[in-house]
Amino acid sequence: MTDIIMDFQRTARCGISEAVLCEYKDSDQIAAILTMGQQQQQRLLLTRLSPEKYQQLDEQHKRQLHWFPGAQCAILGENPPLTAEAVIGVISGGASDRRVCEEIQLTLNFHGIACQLHQDLGVAGLWRLQQHLAQLQQYKIIIAVAGMEAALPTVVAGLVRAPVIAVPTSVGYGISAGGQVALNACLASCAGGVMTMNIDNGYGAATAAIRIYHQFATI
């Protein structure tokens, strides 16, 4: 097996912990990383850990993990205490975006940052967004997750002062299946300042929000 190198110094250097992308690793590689984390007394965030990959781990490693099936993520170790105030809002166009939203929430919580999750605010039923607008306008950062044509980030960015991080998802059918339409819509947003992540990249959106958060939290 190829030697695995973990960047455990990333937190001190960048303020963001290295995550373990499990999607392209086999169970032996994941187990080796978990053993390495324990030996060095490091907390670990594992992303894209599918039910199948999780079940392939031996019982000892499974007992050591907190697995979150909705997010398809796991944590080795315990989360730190969360910030008292949730200044980051995570919103989604539909319930089908749940996995990406929960990956975002778990990544923020892993770094000690609280957030509030508002799901199913898609603009096809604009009143749902309007009902939450007063709350959304209080956040300092908003992460907007949407598939289909991904209109949600653009609409929200036209209504709030906070920076909006768009996460296009692969949710859709027909021409929108796979997320290319959502990605292009977010990249072509007419609302100034929308920052666009890659398709389904909840972890990337969360870490971008963490970087922004650290800038104003220290002021």
Which amino acid would we find at residue 184? Answer: N
* Same domain? 100 vs 21: no
* Same domain? 179 vs 151: yes
Higher pLDDT, 198 or 219: 198
For residue 29, what are the domain limits? 10-76
Q: Is the residue at 83 inside a domain?
A: no
Q: Please provide the average confidence, as pLDDT, over all residues in the chain.
A: 93
3 has pLDDT over 80: no
Contact in structure between 135 and 82 (CB atoms under 8 Å): no
pLDDT band at 219 (very low <50, low <70, confident <90, very high): low
Question: Which tokens hold the place of 86?
Answer: 């949730």
CA distances 213 to 95, 98, 191, Å, are 26, 23, 22
**By three-state DSSP, how is residue 116 classified?**
strand
* Same domain? 95 vs 180: yes
Q: What is the CATH number of the domain that holds 152?
A: 3.40.50.1970
- Count the domains in the chain: 2
Question: Which tokens hold the place of 114?
Answer: 């609280």
Question: Which tokens hold the place of 11?
Answer: 């937190």
* Same domain? 150 vs 55: no
Question: Which tokens hold the place of 217?
Answer: 């939290």
* Same domain? 70 vs 94: no
Q: Is the residue at 177 inside a domain?
A: yes
**By three-state DSSP, how is residue 207 classified?**
helix
Q: Is the residue at 3 inside a domain?
A: no
Alpha-carbon gap, residue 138 to 23, rounded angstroms: 36
* Same domain? 51 vs 121: no
Please give the share of the chain, as a percent, with pLDDT higher than 70: 98
pLDDT band at 47 (very low <50, low <70, confident <90, very high): very high
| pLDDT on residue 2 | 55
Residue ending a domain, among 52, 76, 100, is 76
Q: Return the closest-CA partner of residue 141 out of 90, 198, 192, 84.
A: 90
Contact in structure between 156 and 164 (CB atoms under 8 Å): yes
Mean pLDDT across 22-34? 92
pLDDT band at 6 (very low <50, low <70, confident <90, very high): confident
Residue ending a domain, among 20, 54, 76, is 76
Alpha-carbon gap, residue 109 to 69, rounded angstroms: 16
